[in-house]
Amino acid sequence: MALQTVSTRPSITDERARLTEAEFSALLDAAVDGIVIMDADGQIEGFNASAERLFGFSPEEVMGRSVNLLMSDPGPSEDEGSLVSYLRTRQPDLVGNSRELVARRRDGTTFPVELAVGEVRAQVPRFVGIIRDISERKAIERRLTQREEELRLTIENAPIPIATVGLDGVVLSANPSFCKMLGYAQREIGRMSFRDFTYPDDLPLTVTLMEEALRGEGDTYSYQKRYVHKDGRVVHVVLHNGVVRDEQGRPVMIVVQVEDLTERMQAEEEAREHRERLAHVDRLNVMGEMAASIAHEINQPLSAIANYTNAAFRRVSAGRLDGEKLSASLTKIDEQAQRAGEVVRRLRNLVKKRESQRELLDVNDLVRESLRLAEVDARIHDVVVEVSLTESPSCVLADPVQIEQVILNLLRNAIDAMGMVPKEESRLMVRTDASENFVEVSVCDRGTGITKLDEQHLFEPFFTTKVAGMGMGLSISHSIISAHGGRFWFTRNPERGVTFRFSLPKATESLV
Ligand code: ADP
Protein backbone atom coordinates (compact mmCIF):
# COMPACT_ATOMS: atom_id res chain seq x y z
CA MET A 1 0.00 0.00 0.00
CA ALA A 2 1.45 3.32 -1.05
CA LEU A 3 1.75 6.19 1.34
CA GLN A 4 -1.25 8.35 1.06
CA THR A 5 -1.21 11.98 1.94
CA VAL A 6 -4.05 14.35 2.45
CA SER A 7 -4.28 16.64 -0.48
CA THR A 8 -5.22 19.73 1.50
CA ARG A 9 -1.86 19.68 3.24
CA PRO A 10 1.54 20.26 1.68
CA SER A 11 2.92 17.08 0.17
CA ILE A 12 5.80 15.46 1.99
CA THR A 13 7.63 15.07 -1.25
CA ASP A 14 7.59 18.80 -1.68
CA GLU A 15 9.60 19.02 1.49
CA ARG A 16 11.91 16.13 0.76
CA ALA A 17 13.12 17.32 -2.57
CA ARG A 18 15.72 14.66 -2.96
CA LEU A 19 13.28 11.75 -3.02
CA THR A 20 10.56 11.37 -5.62
CA GLU A 21 7.16 10.53 -4.24
CA ALA A 22 7.34 7.07 -5.75
CA GLU A 23 10.69 6.39 -4.11
CA PHE A 24 9.44 7.67 -0.81
CA SER A 25 6.30 5.50 -0.95
CA ALA A 26 8.32 2.45 -1.89
CA LEU A 27 10.69 3.11 1.01
CA LEU A 28 7.88 3.45 3.51
CA ASP A 29 6.08 0.37 2.32
CA ALA A 30 9.23 -1.69 2.44
CA ALA A 31 9.75 -0.81 6.10
CA VAL A 32 9.09 -3.65 8.48
CA ASP A 33 7.99 -1.26 11.21
CA GLY A 34 4.76 0.67 11.12
CA ILE A 35 5.31 4.27 10.04
CA VAL A 36 2.83 7.04 10.70
CA ILE A 37 3.41 10.58 9.53
CA MET A 38 1.60 13.29 11.41
CA ASP A 39 1.50 17.02 11.76
CA ALA A 40 2.37 18.98 14.87
CA ASP A 41 -1.15 18.41 16.24
CA GLY A 42 -0.89 14.71 15.78
CA GLN A 43 -3.18 14.45 12.76
CA ILE A 44 -2.25 11.54 10.59
CA GLU A 45 -0.90 12.36 7.18
CA GLY A 46 0.72 9.13 6.19
CA PHE A 47 0.24 5.46 7.06
CA ASN A 48 2.44 2.75 5.59
CA ALA A 49 1.65 -0.89 4.78
CA SER A 50 3.17 -2.24 8.02
CA ALA A 51 1.08 0.23 10.03
CA GLU A 52 -2.00 -1.04 8.20
CA ARG A 53 -1.08 -4.60 9.15
CA LEU A 54 -0.32 -3.66 12.75
CA PHE A 55 -3.43 -1.61 13.44
CA GLY A 56 -5.96 -3.13 11.04
CA PHE A 57 -6.94 0.30 9.71
CA SER A 58 -6.78 1.22 6.04
CA PRO A 59 -5.02 4.52 5.28
CA GLU A 60 -8.34 6.10 4.24
CA GLU A 61 -9.79 5.37 7.67
CA VAL A 62 -7.03 7.17 9.55
CA MET A 63 -6.00 10.04 7.34
CA GLY A 64 -6.69 13.41 8.99
CA ARG A 65 -7.62 11.79 12.30
CA SER A 66 -5.72 12.17 15.56
CA VAL A 67 -2.93 9.73 16.11
CA ASN A 68 -4.49 9.06 19.53
CA LEU A 69 -6.81 6.79 17.57
CA LEU A 70 -3.92 4.35 17.46
CA MET A 71 -3.05 4.61 21.11
CA SER A 72 -4.64 2.94 24.07
CA ASP A 73 -6.66 5.21 26.37
CA PRO A 74 -4.34 7.45 28.27
CA GLY A 75 -3.72 5.97 31.66
CA PRO A 76 -3.95 7.78 34.98
CA SER A 77 -0.87 9.66 33.97
CA GLU A 78 -1.79 11.89 31.11
CA ASP A 79 1.45 11.04 29.29
CA GLU A 80 0.68 7.40 29.18
CA GLY A 81 -0.24 6.54 25.63
CA SER A 82 -1.12 10.06 24.66
CA LEU A 83 1.13 10.72 21.76
CA VAL A 84 -0.47 14.04 21.03
CA SER A 85 0.39 15.36 24.43
CA TYR A 86 3.98 14.32 23.75
CA LEU A 87 3.97 16.16 20.52
CA ARG A 88 2.41 19.23 22.08
CA THR A 89 4.92 19.46 24.85
CA ARG A 90 7.68 18.50 22.43
CA GLN A 91 9.37 16.52 25.10
CA PRO A 92 12.99 16.26 24.06
CA ASP A 93 13.22 12.67 25.27
CA LEU A 94 10.47 11.60 22.93
CA VAL A 95 11.94 12.87 19.71
CA GLY A 96 14.95 10.81 18.80
CA ASN A 97 14.36 8.33 21.62
CA SER A 98 12.18 5.33 21.61
CA ARG A 99 9.48 4.69 24.20
CA GLU A 100 7.28 1.83 25.06
CA LEU A 101 3.57 2.49 24.77
CA VAL A 102 0.35 0.57 24.50
CA ALA A 103 -1.21 0.77 21.03
CA ARG A 104 -4.78 0.00 19.99
CA ARG A 105 -5.95 -1.88 16.93
CA ARG A 106 -9.05 -1.12 14.91
CA ASP A 107 -10.87 -3.90 16.77
CA GLY A 108 -10.11 -2.28 20.13
CA THR A 109 -7.52 -4.83 21.24
CA THR A 110 -4.29 -3.41 22.59
CA PHE A 111 -0.66 -4.42 22.19
CA PRO A 112 2.69 -3.12 23.38
CA VAL A 113 4.75 -1.09 20.95
CA GLU A 114 8.05 0.67 20.87
CA LEU A 115 7.65 4.14 19.41
CA ALA A 116 10.42 6.32 18.00
CA VAL A 117 9.51 9.79 16.78
CA GLY A 118 11.53 11.79 14.34
CA GLU A 119 10.87 15.43 13.67
CA VAL A 120 10.88 16.69 10.10
CA ARG A 121 12.30 20.15 10.42
CA ALA A 122 10.55 22.11 7.71
CA GLN A 123 8.47 25.20 7.52
CA VAL A 124 5.51 23.21 8.64
CA PRO A 125 6.96 20.73 11.11
CA ARG A 126 5.94 17.14 10.86
CA PHE A 127 6.64 14.07 12.85
CA VAL A 128 7.38 10.56 11.75
CA GLY A 129 6.44 7.85 14.20
CA ILE A 130 8.08 4.48 13.78
CA ILE A 131 6.10 1.84 15.57
CA ARG A 132 7.39 -1.61 16.35
CA ASP A 133 5.18 -4.38 17.73
CA ILE A 134 6.96 -5.72 20.82
CA SER A 135 4.29 -8.21 21.93
CA GLU A 136 6.64 -11.14 21.44
CA ARG A 137 9.54 -9.48 23.24
CA LYS A 138 7.23 -8.50 26.09
CA ALA A 139 5.88 -12.05 26.32
CA ILE A 140 9.43 -13.40 26.50
CA GLU A 141 10.32 -10.80 29.13
CA ARG A 142 7.22 -11.69 31.11
CA ARG A 143 8.08 -15.38 30.90
CA LEU A 144 11.64 -14.68 32.02
CA THR A 145 10.49 -12.53 34.92
CA GLN A 146 8.01 -15.20 35.86
CA ARG A 147 10.71 -17.88 35.73
CA GLU A 148 13.04 -15.72 37.78
CA GLU A 149 10.30 -15.17 40.31
CA GLU A 150 9.51 -18.88 40.42
CA LEU A 151 13.18 -19.68 40.92
CA ARG A 152 13.50 -17.02 43.60
CA LEU A 153 10.41 -18.34 45.41
CA THR A 154 11.63 -21.92 45.11
CA ILE A 155 14.99 -21.03 46.65
CA GLU A 156 13.43 -18.75 49.26
CA ASN A 157 11.00 -21.44 50.38
CA ALA A 158 13.31 -24.43 49.95
CA PRO A 159 13.66 -26.37 53.18
CA ILE A 160 17.24 -27.04 52.07
CA PRO A 161 19.75 -24.37 53.05
CA ILE A 162 21.08 -22.78 49.84
CA ALA A 163 23.63 -19.98 49.42
CA THR A 164 25.83 -18.49 46.75
CA VAL A 165 29.39 -17.52 47.53
CA GLY A 166 31.68 -15.24 45.54
CA LEU A 167 35.22 -16.16 44.58
CA ASP A 168 36.53 -14.19 47.56
CA GLY A 169 34.37 -16.32 49.87
CA VAL A 170 31.82 -13.62 50.64
CA VAL A 171 28.19 -14.75 50.80
CA LEU A 172 26.31 -13.28 47.85
CA SER A 173 22.93 -14.67 48.80
CA ALA A 174 21.50 -17.06 51.35
CA ASN A 175 17.97 -18.39 51.63
CA PRO A 176 16.02 -18.33 54.92
CA SER A 177 16.84 -22.02 55.61
CA PHE A 178 20.54 -21.25 55.37
CA CYS A 179 20.21 -18.28 57.73
CA LYS A 180 18.12 -20.32 60.16
CA MET A 181 20.67 -23.13 60.18
CA LEU A 182 23.38 -20.70 61.32
CA GLY A 183 21.22 -18.35 63.39
CA TYR A 184 22.04 -15.20 61.42
CA ALA A 185 19.66 -12.69 59.83
CA GLN A 186 19.81 -12.45 56.04
CA ARG A 187 21.41 -8.99 56.14
CA GLU A 188 24.03 -10.18 58.66
CA ILE A 189 25.08 -13.16 56.61
CA GLY A 190 25.32 -11.03 53.47
CA ARG A 191 28.36 -9.32 54.91
CA MET A 192 30.10 -12.50 56.02
CA SER A 193 32.60 -14.81 54.41
CA PHE A 194 32.23 -18.60 54.68
CA ARG A 195 35.42 -18.38 56.75
CA ASP A 196 33.44 -16.62 59.50
CA PHE A 197 31.13 -19.56 60.12
CA THR A 198 33.24 -22.54 59.11
CA TYR A 199 34.57 -24.57 62.03
CA PRO A 200 38.27 -23.54 62.22
CA ASP A 201 39.63 -27.09 61.88
CA ASP A 202 37.63 -27.57 58.67
CA LEU A 203 38.83 -24.38 57.03
CA PRO A 204 41.94 -25.82 55.29
CA LEU A 205 39.86 -28.61 53.67
CA THR A 206 37.15 -26.13 52.64
CA VAL A 207 39.67 -23.80 51.01
CA THR A 208 41.58 -26.61 49.27
CA LEU A 209 38.42 -28.11 47.77
CA MET A 210 37.20 -24.70 46.65
CA GLU A 211 40.53 -23.87 44.99
CA GLU A 212 40.60 -27.22 43.21
CA ALA A 213 37.06 -26.72 41.92
CA LEU A 214 37.78 -23.17 40.75
CA ARG A 215 40.86 -24.45 38.91
CA GLY A 216 38.47 -26.69 36.99
CA GLU A 217 39.09 -30.00 38.74
CA GLY A 218 35.41 -30.94 38.81
CA ASP A 219 32.69 -28.33 38.86
CA THR A 220 30.63 -30.08 41.48
CA TYR A 221 31.90 -31.51 44.73
CA SER A 222 30.44 -32.77 48.00
CA TYR A 223 32.03 -33.14 51.38
CA GLN A 224 31.22 -33.27 55.06
CA LYS A 225 32.24 -30.41 57.30
CA ARG A 226 31.24 -28.41 60.35
CA TYR A 227 29.82 -24.92 60.61
CA VAL A 228 29.60 -22.85 63.76
CA HIS A 229 26.15 -21.49 64.68
CA LYS A 230 25.89 -17.88 65.87
CA ASP A 231 25.40 -19.22 69.40
CA GLY A 232 28.65 -21.20 69.15
CA ARG A 233 27.05 -24.60 68.58
CA VAL A 234 28.74 -26.92 66.05
CA VAL A 235 26.52 -27.74 63.05
CA HIS A 236 27.44 -30.90 61.14
CA VAL A 237 26.66 -30.65 57.43
CA VAL A 238 27.26 -32.24 54.05
CA LEU A 239 27.81 -29.66 51.32
CA HIS A 240 26.97 -30.14 47.66
CA ASN A 241 28.75 -27.35 45.81
CA GLY A 242 28.67 -26.33 42.17
CA VAL A 243 30.88 -23.78 40.40
CA VAL A 244 28.96 -21.36 38.18
CA ARG A 245 30.98 -20.13 35.17
CA ASP A 246 30.42 -17.35 32.66
CA GLU A 247 30.27 -17.88 28.88
CA GLN A 248 34.05 -17.84 28.66
CA GLY A 249 34.26 -20.57 31.28
CA ARG A 250 35.59 -18.29 34.00
CA PRO A 251 34.26 -19.09 37.49
CA VAL A 252 31.79 -16.54 38.77
CA MET A 253 30.50 -17.99 42.02
CA ILE A 254 29.77 -21.17 43.91
CA VAL A 255 26.28 -22.45 44.66
CA VAL A 256 26.17 -24.24 47.99
CA GLN A 257 23.42 -26.68 48.94
CA VAL A 258 23.54 -27.95 52.48
CA GLU A 259 22.38 -31.16 54.05
CA ASP A 260 22.02 -30.44 57.75
CA LEU A 261 23.12 -33.55 59.62
CA THR A 262 22.18 -32.24 63.08
CA GLU A 263 18.86 -34.05 63.27
CA ARG A 264 20.24 -37.25 61.79
CA MET A 265 23.16 -37.21 64.21
CA GLN A 266 20.87 -36.52 67.13
CA ALA A 267 18.64 -39.42 66.09
CA GLU A 268 21.67 -41.69 65.79
CA GLU A 269 22.91 -40.57 69.18
CA GLU A 270 19.49 -41.21 70.70
CA ALA A 271 19.32 -44.63 69.04
CA ARG A 272 22.77 -45.43 70.39
CA GLU A 273 21.83 -44.33 73.90
CA HIS A 274 18.62 -46.31 73.64
CA ARG A 275 20.56 -49.38 72.54
CA GLU A 276 23.01 -48.96 75.42
CA ARG A 277 20.14 -48.66 77.89
CA LEU A 278 18.48 -51.79 76.53
CA ALA A 279 21.79 -53.61 76.46
CA HIS A 280 22.23 -52.74 80.10
CA VAL A 281 18.77 -53.99 80.97
CA ASP A 282 19.44 -57.16 79.01
CA ARG A 283 22.72 -57.77 80.81
CA LEU A 284 20.92 -57.44 84.13
CA ASN A 285 18.37 -59.91 82.84
CA VAL A 286 21.02 -62.46 81.88
CA MET A 287 22.66 -61.95 85.22
CA GLY A 288 19.31 -62.57 86.88
CA GLU A 289 18.91 -65.82 84.97
CA MET A 290 22.40 -66.82 85.96
CA ALA A 291 21.97 -65.82 89.60
CA ALA A 292 22.29 -69.39 90.83
CA SER A 293 25.51 -70.00 88.98
CA ILE A 294 26.90 -66.63 90.00
CA ALA A 295 26.15 -67.35 93.63
CA HIS A 296 27.86 -70.70 93.21
CA GLU A 297 30.84 -69.10 91.51
CA ILE A 298 31.38 -66.73 94.41
CA ASN A 299 30.47 -69.20 97.08
CA GLN A 300 33.14 -71.66 96.10
CA PRO A 301 36.15 -69.47 96.86
CA LEU A 302 34.40 -68.10 99.93
CA SER A 303 33.91 -71.66 101.34
CA ALA A 304 37.50 -72.47 100.47
CA ILE A 305 38.66 -69.36 102.33
CA ALA A 306 36.53 -70.34 105.31
CA ASN A 307 38.01 -73.89 105.27
CA TYR A 308 41.62 -72.73 105.05
CA THR A 309 41.04 -70.13 107.75
CA ASN A 310 39.45 -72.72 110.05
CA ALA A 311 42.31 -75.14 109.51
CA ALA A 312 44.86 -72.43 110.25
CA PHE A 313 42.91 -71.34 113.26
CA ARG A 314 42.81 -74.90 114.60
CA ARG A 315 46.57 -75.19 114.16
CA VAL A 316 47.18 -71.94 115.98
CA SER A 317 44.77 -72.94 118.79
CA ALA A 318 46.51 -76.29 119.18
CA GLY A 319 49.83 -74.47 119.46
CA ARG A 320 51.15 -76.04 116.27
CA LEU A 321 52.79 -72.94 114.92
CA ASP A 322 54.41 -74.37 111.81
CA GLY A 323 55.38 -71.22 109.90
CA GLU A 324 55.73 -72.99 106.56
CA LYS A 325 52.28 -74.62 106.70
CA LEU A 326 50.70 -71.42 107.93
CA SER A 327 52.18 -69.49 105.07
CA ALA A 328 50.95 -72.14 102.59
CA SER A 329 47.42 -71.74 104.01
CA LEU A 330 47.62 -67.98 103.76
CA THR A 331 48.76 -68.25 100.12
CA LYS A 332 45.74 -70.44 99.35
CA ILE A 333 43.41 -68.02 101.16
CA ASP A 334 44.89 -65.22 99.11
CA GLU A 335 44.40 -67.17 95.85
CA GLN A 336 40.75 -67.87 96.66
CA ALA A 337 40.13 -64.26 97.65
CA GLN A 338 41.64 -63.22 94.30
CA ARG A 339 39.36 -65.67 92.50
CA ALA A 340 36.25 -64.32 94.26
CA GLY A 341 37.44 -60.80 93.57
CA GLU A 342 37.89 -61.68 89.88
CA VAL A 343 34.33 -63.03 89.63
CA VAL A 344 32.99 -59.87 91.24
CA ARG A 345 35.09 -57.73 88.88
CA ARG A 346 33.74 -59.56 85.82
CA LEU A 347 30.20 -59.24 87.06
CA ARG A 348 30.60 -55.61 87.86
CA ASN A 349 31.88 -55.01 84.34
CA LEU A 350 28.89 -56.71 82.86
CA VAL A 351 26.34 -55.03 85.06
CA LYS A 352 27.85 -51.55 84.91
CA LYS A 353 25.93 -49.05 82.80
CA ARG A 354 28.52 -47.71 80.45
CA GLU A 355 29.24 -46.11 77.10
CA SER A 356 30.37 -48.31 74.26
CA GLN A 357 34.17 -48.52 74.15
CA ARG A 358 36.03 -50.27 71.36
CA GLU A 359 39.34 -51.98 71.95
CA LEU A 360 41.60 -54.26 69.98
CA LEU A 361 40.65 -57.72 71.21
CA ASP A 362 41.23 -61.38 70.49
CA VAL A 363 37.83 -62.98 69.92
CA ASN A 364 39.13 -66.21 71.50
CA ASP A 365 39.76 -64.32 74.75
CA LEU A 366 36.21 -62.98 74.72
CA VAL A 367 34.84 -66.51 74.22
CA ARG A 368 37.02 -67.86 77.06
CA GLU A 369 35.87 -65.09 79.40
CA SER A 370 32.19 -65.69 78.56
CA LEU A 371 32.61 -69.43 79.04
CA ARG A 372 34.07 -68.83 82.47
CA LEU A 373 30.90 -66.98 83.43
CA ALA A 374 28.57 -69.57 81.87
CA GLU A 375 30.52 -72.63 83.00
CA VAL A 376 28.72 -73.15 86.28
CA ASP A 377 25.38 -72.49 84.66
CA ALA A 378 26.10 -75.26 82.16
CA ARG A 379 27.22 -77.59 84.93
CA ILE A 380 24.04 -76.96 86.94
CA HIS A 381 21.96 -77.81 83.85
CA ASP A 382 24.08 -80.85 82.98
CA VAL A 383 25.18 -79.41 79.67
CA VAL A 384 28.54 -80.43 78.27
CA VAL A 385 30.33 -77.55 76.55
CA GLU A 386 32.79 -78.32 73.77
CA VAL A 387 35.08 -75.58 72.63
CA SER A 388 37.10 -75.24 69.45
CA LEU A 389 39.02 -72.01 69.02
CA THR A 390 40.75 -70.98 65.83
CA GLU A 391 44.49 -70.64 65.78
CA SER A 392 44.44 -68.02 63.06
CA PRO A 393 44.74 -64.40 64.05
CA SER A 394 41.34 -63.34 65.30
CA CYS A 395 41.66 -59.76 66.46
CA VAL A 396 38.74 -57.36 66.19
CA LEU A 397 38.06 -53.81 67.20
CA ALA A 398 35.14 -54.21 69.56
CA ASP A 399 33.53 -53.42 72.86
CA PRO A 400 34.47 -56.41 75.09
CA VAL A 401 31.50 -56.12 77.42
CA GLN A 402 29.01 -55.98 74.57
CA ILE A 403 30.52 -58.92 72.68
CA GLU A 404 30.71 -61.00 75.85
CA GLN A 405 27.08 -60.12 76.40
CA VAL A 406 26.21 -61.47 72.94
CA ILE A 407 28.14 -64.71 73.56
CA LEU A 408 26.60 -65.13 77.03
CA ASN A 409 23.14 -64.65 75.55
CA LEU A 410 23.79 -67.34 72.97
CA LEU A 411 25.11 -69.72 75.63
CA ARG A 412 22.10 -69.02 77.89
CA ASN A 413 19.64 -69.59 75.06
CA ALA A 414 21.40 -72.81 74.02
CA ILE A 415 21.32 -74.11 77.61
CA ASP A 416 17.61 -73.14 77.89
CA ALA A 417 16.81 -74.87 74.58
CA MET A 418 18.27 -78.13 75.89
CA GLY A 419 16.25 -78.07 79.12
CA MET A 420 14.10 -81.03 78.03
CA VAL A 421 16.83 -82.93 76.18
CA PRO A 422 18.13 -86.21 77.76
CA LYS A 423 21.20 -85.57 79.86
CA GLU A 424 23.58 -87.57 77.65
CA GLU A 425 22.60 -85.55 74.57
CA SER A 426 22.82 -82.13 76.24
CA ARG A 427 25.91 -80.75 74.62
CA LEU A 428 26.78 -77.56 72.95
CA MET A 429 29.67 -76.61 70.77
CA VAL A 430 31.30 -73.19 70.79
CA ARG A 431 33.62 -72.42 67.87
CA THR A 432 35.61 -69.55 66.51
CA ASP A 433 36.73 -69.45 62.88
CA ALA A 434 38.68 -66.82 61.02
CA SER A 435 38.35 -66.06 57.31
CA GLU A 436 40.27 -63.45 55.38
CA ASN A 437 38.24 -60.49 56.58
CA PHE A 438 36.02 -61.78 59.36
CA VAL A 439 36.15 -63.68 62.60
CA GLU A 440 33.12 -65.86 63.24
CA VAL A 441 31.76 -67.17 66.53
CA SER A 442 29.17 -69.96 66.52
CA VAL A 443 27.17 -71.64 69.26
CA CYS A 444 25.65 -74.93 68.17
CA ASP A 445 23.09 -76.73 70.36
CA ARG A 446 21.04 -79.90 70.25
CA GLY A 447 17.94 -78.28 71.64
CA THR A 448 14.32 -77.86 70.57
CA GLY A 449 15.16 -75.85 67.46
CA ILE A 450 13.19 -72.94 66.02
CA THR A 451 9.88 -73.22 64.17
CA LYS A 452 9.27 -71.44 60.86
CA LEU A 453 6.66 -69.30 62.58
CA ASP A 454 8.95 -68.22 65.43
CA GLU A 455 11.75 -67.55 62.99
CA GLN A 456 9.89 -64.54 61.57
CA HIS A 457 9.84 -62.79 64.94
CA LEU A 458 13.10 -64.01 66.39
CA PHE A 459 14.96 -60.70 66.21
CA GLU A 460 12.00 -58.57 67.22
CA PRO A 461 12.26 -57.02 70.66
CA PHE A 462 10.15 -58.73 73.34
CA PHE A 463 9.62 -61.89 71.32
CA THR A 464 9.96 -64.81 73.68
CA THR A 465 8.62 -68.33 74.02
CA LYS A 466 9.90 -68.67 77.57
CA VAL A 467 7.71 -68.27 80.62
CA ALA A 468 10.13 -65.89 82.31
CA GLY A 469 11.82 -64.65 79.15
CA MET A 470 12.20 -60.99 78.31
CA GLY A 471 12.72 -61.44 74.55
CA MET A 472 15.45 -58.80 74.33
CA GLY A 473 18.56 -60.95 73.98
CA LEU A 474 18.53 -61.68 70.26
CA SER A 475 17.36 -58.24 69.17
CA ILE A 476 20.03 -56.55 71.28
CA SER A 477 22.70 -59.00 70.14
CA HIS A 478 21.69 -58.34 66.56
CA SER A 479 21.99 -54.58 66.99
CA ILE A 480 25.29 -54.84 68.87
CA ILE A 481 26.82 -56.92 66.09
CA SER A 482 25.42 -54.66 63.35
CA ALA A 483 26.84 -51.62 65.13
CA HIS A 484 30.22 -53.40 65.02
CA GLY A 485 29.91 -53.86 61.26
CA GLY A 486 29.29 -57.59 61.60
CA ARG A 487 26.50 -60.05 60.78
CA PHE A 488 24.28 -62.03 63.14
CA TRP A 489 22.25 -65.02 61.95
CA PHE A 490 21.29 -68.64 62.63
CA THR A 491 21.02 -71.90 60.75
CA ARG A 492 19.16 -75.11 61.56
CA ASN A 493 21.34 -78.12 62.34
CA PRO A 494 20.80 -81.20 60.13
CA GLU A 495 20.05 -83.44 63.12
CA ARG A 496 18.67 -81.26 65.83
CA GLY A 497 18.87 -77.81 67.30
CA VAL A 498 20.23 -74.62 65.82
CA THR A 499 23.52 -72.83 65.39
CA PHE A 500 23.64 -69.12 66.09
CA ARG A 501 26.55 -67.29 64.53
CA PHE A 502 27.95 -63.86 64.34
CA SER A 503 30.88 -62.42 62.47
CA LEU A 504 32.98 -59.35 63.19
CA PRO A 505 35.31 -57.57 60.77
CA LYS A 506 38.93 -58.44 61.45
CA ALA A 507 41.02 -55.57 62.74
CA THR A 508 43.22 -54.25 59.93
CA GLU A 509 46.93 -54.94 60.11
CA SER A 510 47.77 -51.34 60.91
CA LEU A 511 45.79 -51.68 64.11
CA VAL A 512 47.21 -55.06 65.14
P1 ADP B 1 14.57 -64.68 75.74
O2 ADP B 1 15.72 -65.61 75.91
O3 ADP B 1 14.36 -63.74 76.89
O4 ADP B 1 13.30 -65.35 75.31
P5 ADP B 1 15.90 -63.95 73.28
O6 ADP B 1 15.74 -62.74 72.42
O7 ADP B 1 17.28 -64.27 73.67
O8 ADP B 1 14.97 -63.70 74.53
O9 ADP B 1 15.27 -65.17 72.51
C10 ADP B 1 14.02 -65.04 71.89
C11 ADP B 1 13.42 -66.39 71.59
O12 ADP B 1 14.20 -67.03 70.58
C13 ADP B 1 13.43 -67.35 72.72
O14 ADP B 1 12.31 -67.16 73.59
C15 ADP B 1 13.36 -68.68 71.98
O16 ADP B 1 12.03 -68.97 71.60
C17 ADP B 1 14.12 -68.43 70.71
N18 ADP B 1 15.51 -68.95 70.79
C19 ADP B 1 16.62 -68.25 71.01
N20 ADP B 1 17.71 -69.04 70.99
C21 ADP B 1 17.26 -70.29 70.76
C22 ADP B 1 17.90 -71.59 70.62
N23 ADP B 1 19.23 -71.73 70.73
N24 ADP B 1 17.10 -72.64 70.36
C25 ADP B 1 15.77 -72.49 70.24
N26 ADP B 1 15.12 -71.32 70.37
C27 ADP B 1 15.85 -70.24 70.61
Q: How many helices and strands in the chain, by DSSP H and E?
A: 17, 17
Residue 375 CA, chain-centre distance (Å), reads 49
Q: What is the predicted pLDDT for the residue at 19? A: 65
The Å distance, Cα 165 to ligand 1 centre, comes to 58
The Å distance, Cα 465 to ligand 1 centre, comes to 7
In a domain, 97, yes or no: yes
Examine the domain organization and report whether 194 and 289 are in the same domain: no
Where a domain ends, among 105, 136, 167?
Answer: 136
List the pLDDT tens digit at each of the 512 positions of the chain: 444 443 334 444 455 456 677 787 788 888 889 999 988 888 999 999 999 999 999 999 999 998 888 988 654 444 434 456 666 665 555 555 778 889 999 999 999 999 888 887 777 778 888 999 999 999 999 999 999 999 899 889 999 999 999 999 999 999 999 999 999 999 999 889 999 999 999 999 999 999 999 988 888 999 999 999 999 999 999 999 999 999 998 999 999 999 999 888 888 888 777 777 777 777 777 777 667 667 777 888 898 899 889 988 888 888 877 788 888 889 989 988 988 887 787 677 766 666 678 889 999 999 998 898 888 788 888 999 999 999 998 999 998 888 988 998 999 999 999 988 888 889 999 999 999 899 999 999 999 999 998 998 898 877 889 887 778 889 888 888 988 999 999 999 999 999 999 999 999 755 44
C-alpha torsion angle, residues 85, 87, 91, 93 (rounded to 10): 110
Ligand 1 nearest-atom number relative to CA 475: 6
CA-proximal residue: ligand 1, atom 1 (nearest): 471
Q: What is the CATH number of the domain that holds 318?
A: 3.30.565.10
Examine the domain organization and report whether 224 and 304 are in the same domain: no
Examine the domain organization and report whether 230 and 195 are in the same domain: yes
CA-proximal residue: ligand 1, atom 7 (nearest): 473
pTM of the predicted protein model: 0.50
What sign does the dihedral 302-303-304-310 (CA atoms) show? positive
CB 373 within 8 A of CB 408: yes
From CA 239, how far away is CA 245, in angstroms rounded? 19
The Å distance, Cα 483 to ligand 1 centre, comes to 21
From CA 148, how far away is CA 55, in angstroms rounded? 33
Ligand 1 nearest-atom number relative to CA 466: 14
In a domain, 152, yes or no: no
The Å distance, Cα 291 to ligand 1 centre, comes to 19
In a domain, 212, yes or no: yes
Domain count, the chain: 3
Pocket test for ligand 1, best of 464, 467, 492 (most atoms within 8 A of CB): 464
CA-proximal residue: ligand 1, atom 14 (nearest): 464
Residue 205 CA, chain-centre distance (Å), reads 20
Ligand 1 nearest-atom number relative to CA 459: 6
From CA 190, how far away is CA 166, in angstroms rounded? 11
Ligand 1 nearest-atom number relative to CA 470: 3
CB 42 within 8 A of CB 66: yes
Ligand 1 nearest-atom number relative to CA 447: 24
CB 445 within 8 A of CB 414: yes
Residues within a 6 A CB radius of ligand 1:
409, 413-414, 417, 445, 447-450, 454, 458, 463-466, 469-475, 498
**Residue 75, SS3?**
coil
Instruction: Identify the burial level of 480 via C-beta atoms within 10 angstroms of its C-beta, where 0-12 means exposed, 13-18 middle and 19 or more buried.
Output: buried
Ligand 1 nearest-atom number relative to CA 458: 12
Examine the domain organization and report whether 253 and 275 are in the same domain: no
Closest CA to 339 of 351, 347, 399, 405: 347
Give CA angle at 247 (216, 240), nearest 5°: 45
Pocket test for ligand 1, best of 281, 446, 474 (most atoms within 8 A of CB): 474
Q: What is the CATH number of the domain that holds 56?
A: 3.30.450.20
Examine the domain organization and report whether 216 and 286 are in the same domain: no
Examine the domain organization and report whether 170 and 281 are in the same domain: no
CB 245 within 8 A of CB 219: yes
From CA 174, how far away is CA 258, in angstroms rounded? 11
The Å distance, Cα 13 to ligand 1 centre, comes to 111
Examine the domain organization and report whether 232 and 294 are in the same domain: no
Where a domain ends, among 213, 233, 260?
Answer: 260
Examine the domain organization and report whether 66 and 167 are in the same domain: no
The Å distance, Cα 464 to ligand 1 centre, comes to 6
Ligand 1 nearest-atom number relative to CA 448: 25
Where a domain ends, among 76, 101, 136?
Answer: 136
Ligand 1 nearest-atom number relative to CA 472: 6
The Å distance, Cα 436 to ligand 1 centre, comes to 30
Residue 51 structural domain: 12-136
Examine the domain organization and report whether 374 and 254 are in the same domain: no
Examine the domain organization and report whether 389 and 477 are in the same domain: yes
Examine the domain organization and report whether 313 and 401 are in the same domain: yes
